[in-house]
Amino acid sequence: MTDHELVSKAVEMQKFSYIPYSRFPVGAALLCGDGRVFTGCNVENAAYGSTICAERTALVKAVSEGYTSGFAAIAIAGQGGDYCWPCGACRQMLYEFAPDLRVLAVRGDGQFMEASLRNLLPHGFGPDSLG
């Protein structure tokens, strides 16, 4: 799957966002090493701390279906003028399973930038940190 195809899947997921408070839809598409893609959208909650971001939705779907390794890339698409990078909580969740993940941050016009998760979360805390 090309980066553009992965980005398109993330953009498509924005329409499923449940966003009565922020009105800021976000979609995500997580690519596994075997080519499978798990998608997600943000789901807000009146108890704001219970809100879940699109990228964590995609990751939790993958893990709940038996995928805990081999993640290659994630595209995260917002509708704003800036690139939609993962928040700190999402960076930490993704790092748990894929510290070498490629992250594609997409802005509202479809343009995207790439960064490694290790660059976005330097000195990340993961399973090896507990040894």
Which residues are catalytically annotated? 55
3-state secondary structure of 73: strand
Please give the torsion angle defined by the CA atoms of residues 114, 120, 126 and 131, in that order, rounded to the nearest 10 degrees: 120
Answer yes or no: are the C-beta atoms of 111 and 82 closer than 8 Å: no
**At residue 58, what are phi and psi to the nearest 5 degrees?**
-60, -45
- The residues, ordered by sequence, that sit 6+ positions from 9 with a Cβ below 8 Å of its Cβ are 27, 29, 37, 39, 75
